[in-house]
Structure 1
């Protein structure tokens, strides 16, 4: 079935199986449309690196030690996905920032770092208005790389919601 004025699919190149219920296609099309609607509550976050500003107000450091960092994150509507849980991209961003901060507590400041790998397991959703404890710890740090584990737990129940593992490579500074 190709798109026509009565079709719920917006693209003329979209192909829909004849066995698919048109109501199901309509609900999927509406779902995708709702994801692309502008959200006026995010108008303050349209500048360069505005995601940092968006996260800053929601992350509070609890403790910083050599190789370990703990912080708290409140899941606000601006950090939520369509299903009112903490957005996966926000989880990834927090995991990257916490793991980078952990590495910086054990690696010399003159060594530039770059994120080589970031693996995340999404185990359970953290709902809007909940508080999540984020704990990062350096698992291994050597001459050329560092590995960090990051756990996200619901503050109220201590249930693990997300797990992340980041590998950072240490770039040597050229002596030219």
Structure 2
């Protein structure tokens, strides 16, 4: 396991309350601080994780392509601990990352290779949770493709039941590449 870039791991919140909040008892404040400290997230990023493309590699490592055609693609996602929240369900941030990744890949099926694109808007509805070890089908399809933008719809369904758990829509803007 990689060592963090800093040997000191600071706590998220001070160990003892040093502030006072109107109408909040010290006991409630202490309980809240203990909860926040227990969530973690204050450690340093290990050096081997602080490289270009590391995040994209994590996303691609959890997605398996099942279908690819012009204007539509399908991935299979396995809900594993690396992409789960503390309750074991698929992490909402990973849902957003998978939605962005699949929408860009889908848009690439209909646009010229010399065009750059960037994500202008991403909206997600978290309808339910994908439980631990579930298989999730991600289906992305072009709703609109034009000279300057692409709109992509992404559905996340449990493979076992077909239940819709997340749905997303993204707007990707096309830009001509600079001729240098």
TM-score using structure 2 length: 0.80
Indicate the residue corresponding to 1:47 in structure 2.
Answer: 50
1:153 aligns with 2:175: no
**Cα distance in 2, alignment partners of residues 72 and 83 from structure 1:** 21
1:34 aligns with 2:41: no
Alpha-carbon shift at residue 52 of structure 1 (Å): 2.1
Matches within 5 A, 1:68-87: 68-87=72-91
Unaligned runs of at least 5 residues, structure 1: 1-7
**Cα distance in 2, alignment partners of residues 175 and 54 from structure 1:** 32
Q: Deviations over 1:92-144 (max 9, x none)?
A: 10000000000000001111111100111111111121111000000000011
2:115 to 88, 91, 111: 111
> Cα RMSD (Å) of the superposition?
2.5
Q: Deviations over 1:64-115 (max 9, x none)?
A: 0100010100011110112211111100100000000000000011111111
Secondary structure at the aligned position of 1:135 is classed as: strand
- Contact persistence 2:134–2:158 (CA under 8 A): yes
Indicate the residue corresponding to 1:16 in structure 2.
Answer: 21
Shift in alpha-carbon separation, 1:168–1:26, aligned structure 2, 3 A: same
1:164 aligns with 2:168: yes
Alpha-carbon shift at residue 54 of structure 1 (Å): 2.1
Alpha-carbon shift at residue 16 of structure 1 (Å): 3.4
**Cα distance in 2, alignment partners of residues 73 and 53 from structure 1:** 14
Indicate the residue corresponding to 1:102 in structure 2.
Answer: 106
Alpha-carbon shift at residue 57 of structure 1 (Å): 2.4
Indicate the residue corresponding to 1:132 in structure 2.
Answer: 136
**Cα distance in 1, alignment partners of residues 170 and 66 from structure 2:** 21
Alpha-carbon shift at residue 50 of structure 1 (Å): 2.1
TM-score using structure 1 length: 0.82
- Contact persistence 2:125–2:167 (CA under 8 A): yes
Aligned residue pair count: 165
**Cα distance in 1, alignment partners of residues 64 and 80 from structure 2:** 14
